[in-house]
Chain A
């Protein structure tokens, strides 16, 4: 969903002034990309859902001190999402029994859940072989659909550095997949 009538900065100012609808619009405009980014990082849809909610609740708390600096709000939300994801992974994610009872409710249908997990399984598995920075770049590029310039802003790095990380991540992924293929042929 794109913000049509009022631009983002005006929405932020309204939300800072206590306008509930303005904050709801900011949520609608940014939730999808934050969720995708978190799903790529955390792999479990229920975890991604939990942490997406946490990201927006933290953004709500920190909104009074947020100052627009020319970067889109999503850049700030990605930083919160990154920190929350790291924190969540350190804590070991959600407990298994909670996962079993709640994941079914995350998808519109059980078929969707199975398809999604199979589809993401290979890539996510291979991403485990990447460094943290490489994973961040690929998640921001391909899950959140940011351009190199946007990723550079979010990560506070130069565009050249992001290109380098993206290139090295893709090379590493290719190596992993080559190994996986060789191993499956060997069997």
Chain B
């Protein structure tokens, strides 16, 4: 049977199933396609059996039991909380630990008294600058505090944006430093690899991870931010020397691949697409 013939048969089967769904009989369906009736009848009989055999009903007792379970869970989740403080996601998991709270307070104090000026100045540096290691250290500390999957996704995505901003800054200079651009792009790819790893380890094929709405939201936002990062790289591409362009291609491919990973993870947790496993 050629493809067109197959498609025609599929259409006829679907037409008949739709008629059956509307309450028409098998005989009536077949009467509309007399030339194909002999071929179609066995298959449609199978369809009719499957249609009736699979149409089980939800017993009222089961319906009530399920509703009771679900609504108890609703009540449990919607109990008024004693504390209504919004804890930043990067601190989640730590906020209740007195030791960590103390350490954080000391760190904040130290940065305020001694290093605030330095870290602020370092924020605008690019690879190769004297204060760049300070920026790296600050990012390392932030990464250390990012414990939850949601916070990690946010952190790595923000680091990707930071590296792309650095590339844009370097590319805007009269004589762009090729080594600095390559360095920033390599670091950016490293962040994307780390992001992929967070995504892979927190979203399984079975959809685990879907329960964490904050994580799902972070993934959705990450896609948008990666889009913006890719756009900035493409804009910068026109301003950089020819010999650094292959590094841009690699970086753009890495962004594309990370976006595919996140899209696929979102599909797995039921936000879009379908898990075919």
Chain A residues with CB under 8 Å of chain B are: 18, 20, 23-24, 27-28, 31-32, 35-36, 39-40, 45, 49, 52-53, 56-58, 60-65, 76, 79-80, 82-84, 86-87, 90, 105-108, 112, 116, 119-120, 122-123, 132-133, 136, 138-139, 141-143, 145, 147-148, 154-157, 160, 163-164, 166-167, 170-171, 173-174, 177
Contacts and interface: CB of A to CB of B under 8 A. Distances in A.
A173 B211 contact: no
A166 B211 contact: no
Contacts of B46: 170, 173-174, 177
Contact of B55 (A36, A80, A154): A36
B136 to A, nearest CB: 33
Contact of B47 (A83, A90, A170): A170
Interface stretch (B23-31, B111-119, B170-178, B265-273): B265-273
A132 to B, nearest CB: 7
B276 to A, nearest CB: 6
Contacts of A60: 70, 73-74, 77
B14 A148 contact: yes
A49 B62 contact: yes
Contact of B50 (A56, A76, A123, A163): A123
A61 B54 contact: no
Contacts of A171: 43
B9 interface: yes
Contacts of B238: none
B10 A163 contact: yes
Interface string B74-86: 1101100000000
30 contacts: A20-B75, A24-B67, A31-B67, A35-B56, A36-B55, A39-B56, A45-B59, A49-B66, A53-B66, A56-B66, A60-B70, A61-B77, A63-B213, A79-B270, A83-B268, A86-B277, A90-B206, A106-B59, A138-B50, A142-B50, A142-B51, A143-B54, A147-B18, A156-B274, A166-B14, A167-B10, A170-B13, A170-B50, A173-B50, A174-B46
Interface of B: 6-7, 9-11, 13-14, 17-18, 21, 42-43, 46-47, 49-51, 53-63, 65-67, 69-71, 73-75, 77-78, 205-208, 210-211, 213, 216-217, 220, 267-277
B206 A83 contact: yes
A1 to B, nearest CB: 10
SS of A interface (majority): helix
Nearest to A108: B59
A27 B43 contact: no
B266 to A, nearest CB: 10
A61 B215 CA distance: 12
A20 B56 CA distance: 28
B70 A57 contact: yes
A103 to B, nearest CB: 11
A133 B274 CA distance: 10
B277 A45 contact: no
B62 A167 contact: no
